[in-house]
Structure 1
Amino acid sequence: MSANFLDTGYLLALELSNDRNHEKAMWHWKAVLDSLPPLVTTSYVFDEVITFFNSRGHHKKAVQVGGNLLRSPSIQFIHVDEKLFFEGWRYFQRHQDKAYSLTDCISFVVMEKLDIETAYTFDKHFEQAGFLRKPRM
């Protein structure tokens, strides 16, 4: 079974009941748990999720979510080292016509390297970059 990439917006939608994508993410996550595919994310996505909660005064929630992600045996974390950072930076530079974030570009590089076709995300940039996006909008 091929791995799937976990993006920031998807992880936030799972945790935030007031997120516009919360219900769709929860419905999708329940289906994912039945099949338990391998999941991959990066240290940059992890940082975005934790920073989101902490920057809004929810340090305890940031620690809880971060701990859950780090303890999950189903999630493979890819640490963004210097080599991966610069590969993402080059991807970012080549795509001036897109509004990709550097984190997105690093995610795309990881997905290409690991032959990951599908991202769990609500970010249309993943489709623009040639990947499948779940759940479907």
Structure 2
Amino acid sequence: MKVFVDSGAWIALIYEDDANHTRAEAYYRSRLSQKARFLTSNYVLAETYTWLRYRVSHRRALQFHRMVSAAEQQGLLRILWVDRAVAEEAWRIFERYDDQVFSIADCTSFVLARRADEVFAFDDDFRIMRFPVRP
């Protein structure tokens, strides 16, 4: 099973004061025990690092970066990079959904999340786009 991880899920997982922290930990551990492969993107990670840096601390952003690097080295996480083709498809989505408040980063995630079986997220954006969202 492949699980695409959005920034809100990463934040809930690493930031103990997040309202979804307990749910995020339980879901993450459950999928780990099922040998799931986690996917995320460089844009999602940039959003997460920035959020942690400004709302928590520089140290916490670095801790998260080390956690991501270790997970990638262990084969638990694959970072998908936004290239020109992904960016162009993301802009098509952005143009099409003018009634939504999707960011361009969200739209790149929609393109990349097609490679996953489900999405680990806490906002409604992926649901609006009809992805199977957990937890």
TM-score by length of structure 1 reads 0.89
In structure 2, the residue corresponding to 1:76 is in which secondary structure?
strand
In structure 2, the residue corresponding to 1:55 is in which secondary structure?
helix
Partner of 2:85: 83
The structure with higher relative contact order (CA 8 Å, sep 6+) is: 2
Is 2:90 the partner of 1:92?
A: no
Aligned counterparts of 2:66 and 2:89: Cα–Cα separation in 1? 28
Instruction: Using the TM superposition, give the Cα deviation of residue 57 of structure 1 relative to its aligned residue in structure 2, in angstroms.
Output: 5.8
In structure 2, the residue corresponding to 1:9 is in which secondary structure?
helix
Contact 2:11–2:52 under 8 Å retained in 1: no
After TM superposition, the runs of 4+ consecutive aligned structure 1 residues lying more than 4 A away are: none
| 1:55-70 correspondence to structure 2 within 5 Å | 55-56=54-55, 58-70=57-69
The letter of the residue matching 2:103 is S
Aligned counterparts of 2:67 and 2:45: Cα–Cα separation in 1? 11
Aligned counterparts of 2:100 and 2:58: Cα–Cα separation in 1? 33
Partner of 1:30: 29
State which drifts further: 79-88 or 118-127. Answer: 79-88
- Superposed CA deviations along residues 17-56 of structure 1, whole A, max 9, x for unmatched, are 1111111111212212211211111000000111111123
The letter of the residue matching 1:11 is W
The letter of the residue matching 2:92 is R
In structure 1, the residue corresponding to 2:12 is in which secondary structure?
helix
Aligned counterparts of 2:117 and 2:101: Cα–Cα separation in 1? 21
Partner of 1:118: 118
- Superposed CA deviations along residues 70-107 of structure 1, whole A, max 9, x for unmatched, are 22121111111222222211111111111212111111
- CA distance 1:8–1:57, shift in 2 (3 Å): closer
Unaligned runs of 5+ in 1: none
Is 2:12 the partner of 1:10?
A: no
- CA distance 1:27–1:57, shift in 2 (3 Å): closer
Number of residue-to-residue matches in the alignment: 132
Of all paired residues, the percent bearing the same amino acid is: 29
